[in-house]
Amino acid sequence: MNPFNDAIQFSLAHEVPWPRDPFAAPTVGQVPFGVHHTDPAPWNVLRGPVHVRGGVSGVILRHGEEVAAWGEPDRADLTFSVAKTYLALLAGVAHGRGLLPDADEPVVERVANIGFDSPHNRKITWAHLLEQTSEWEGSCFGLPDTVDRNRSVSHDPKPPQGKKGDARPLNTPGTYWEYNDVRINQLSLALLHLFRTPLPEVFLEAILKPLGGGENFAWRGYDDAWTEIVDNTGVKRNMQSVPGGTHWGGGVSISARDQARVGQLVLNDGAHNGTQIIPAAWVKRMQSPCTIAPFYGRLTWLNPDGTQFPGASEQASFMIGAGGHYTWIEPAHDAVIVVRWLDSAQASGFMERVAEGLSR
């Protein structure tokens, strides 16, 4: 008997209570998934595409080999904020290519005239954006950062500081942690200007294809998130800046097996089959605690005292997205676990059952 059957059956019995079709008879007063119902108007509308989802699915790798798969592991579905970690990996690719030599450098020194030029924003470094401590102020493709102020998420131990969307006073960049999406989208825009190539193309060519994946992968932006950039051949092109999630629609669609491939890359410190795809030091830094938010690294969730994610080791790290998307990197057992569309209220029960299977 597969040691993970109990965990698999538990996940299948606890699917996220979202409609399979985001537009299928939404509850009166609500909106399709992809929009936070607590967003203040007029920001509680879709800006980019969403699509019908599958059911609960997952993949477990042990010592680099697939030992369990369930649901539709090859179906490309939206991943929501798992895409934030993908932005951190892309920043690592940029670092390896010499495009981003120092994460502690102010963004404006390398990318000017895209929203980092004010006295407040000039202090913001790449590390601040990657750690969600930037306190960036402004609007990114029409979405103001105020819509994300006082954001509260389940793994943030800090209680809400006020009503979501209220314009709380800003702090000095690097001194205040707040989970957000607008500022992450601003990081994505800055990375687009670094690469001068659409980020979906970079992610596919630099990461997914070398891992043997990429089938049906897509990373879509908001309908109006286009900007003119001179590409690496000197030609002006309109390129779409993609979001670091599916808040307001768009985002990454990818299979569970490809998510597991990306997780294995992280577990292997950025290497695959003897090739260093992302510098090892960069990947390790992604999994190192932020000084003022030790439960978080660089766009990666951590488990430093073992209590955030029961069943996972203190060395574990996670890519997490709304809708019950988890990519769990578990060095203690040389394992990668992916589960999709799990009711997040039941995540601990799933993880504890997986841990039992890993210990057998």
Contact 339, 327 (CB under 8 A): no
Q: Is residue 69 part of a domain?
A: yes
> 130-148 pLDDT, tens per residue?
999 999 999 999 999 999 8
Please report the sign of the dihedral spanned by the C-alpha atoms of residue 96, residue 83, residue 254, residue 147: negative
pLDDT cut 90: percent of the chain above it: 86
Any domain includes 170 = no
Asked if the structure places residue 138 within a domain, the reply is no
Q: What 3-state class would DSSP assign to 90?
A: helix
| pLDDT band at 24; cut points 50, 70, 90 | confident
- Bridge partners of 271, per DSSP, are 276
Residue 98 belongs to a domain: no
**Spatial distance between the Cα atoms of 168 and 163, rounded to a whole number of angstroms:** 9
Q: Residue 28 above 80 pLDDT?
A: no
Q: Report yes or no: 343 and 320 within 8 Å, Cβ to Cβ.
A: no
pLDDT of res. 26 = 61
- Per-residue pLDDT tens over the stretch 303-345: 999 999 999 999 999 999 999 999 999 999 999 999 999 999 9
Residue 298 in any domain: the answer is yes
Is residue 142 one of the residues assigned to a domain?
A: no
Domain CATH number, residue 348:
3.40.710.10
Q: What is the pLDDT of residue 157?
A: 80
pLDDT at 31 exceeding the cut of 70: no
CB atoms within 10 A of CB 137: 18
8 A C-beta contact, residue 243 and residue 48: yes
Q: Which of 338, 356, 347 has the alpha carbon at shortest distance from 72?
A: 338
Count of structural domains within the chain: 1
**Mean pLDDT, rounded, of the chain:** 94
**Maximum Cα interatomic distance, the chain, rounded to a whole number of Å:** 62
216 within 8 A of 253, measured Cβ to Cβ: yes
- Please say if the pLDDT value at position 61 is more than 80: yes
Q: What is the pLDDT of residue 30?
A: 60
Domain that holds residue 323: 5-81+203-224+253-358
pLDDT reading at 27 higher than 70: no
Domain membership flag for residue 163: no
223 class by beta-carbon count within 10 Å (0-12 exposed, 13-18 middle, 19+ buried): middle
Are β-strands 57-62 and 335-340 bridged in parallel, bridged antiparallel, or unpaired?
antiparallel
Residue with tokens 């699917």: 15
Residue 29 has pLDDT above 60, yes or no: no
Name the pTM for this structure. 0.97
* Residue 168, domain member (yes or no): no
